Amino acid sequence: MVPLLLVLLLALLLFGAGFALKALWWVAVVVLVVWLVGFVARSTNATGGRGRWY
């Protein structure tokens, strides 16, 4: 009974980790897209130069 519970617990942990890692990859992609849009669409400052956007 104990080995079965350990296997089920391990499967649950691996499934949770896989889902969390996939979610983190999507978050990383969204942050990268926002960063690229901000880099391309940054506005000029009063002197005409491009300032920091971050």
pLDDT at 30 over 90: yes
pLDDT the model gives residue 52: 60
Nearby residues of 51 by Cβ (< 8 Å), 6 or more positions away: 42, 44, 45
Helix (H, G, I), strand (E, B) or coil at 49: coil
Q: Give the pLDDT confidence of 32-54 residue by residue, as tens digits.
A: 998 888 877 766 665 656 666 55
Q: Mean pLDDT, the chain, as a whole number?
A: 80
Domain range list for the chain: 1-39
What is the Cβ-side half-sphere exposure of residue 44, based on CA atoms within 13 angstroms? 4
Q: Which amino acid does the sequence have at 7? A: V
Give CA separation, 11 vs 8, 25, 41, in Å. 5, 21, 45
Task: State residue 19's pLDDT score.
Answer: 82
pTM score of the predicted model: 0.56
Q: Compute the half-sphere exposure of residue 4: CA atoms within 13 Å on the CB side of its CA.
A: 1
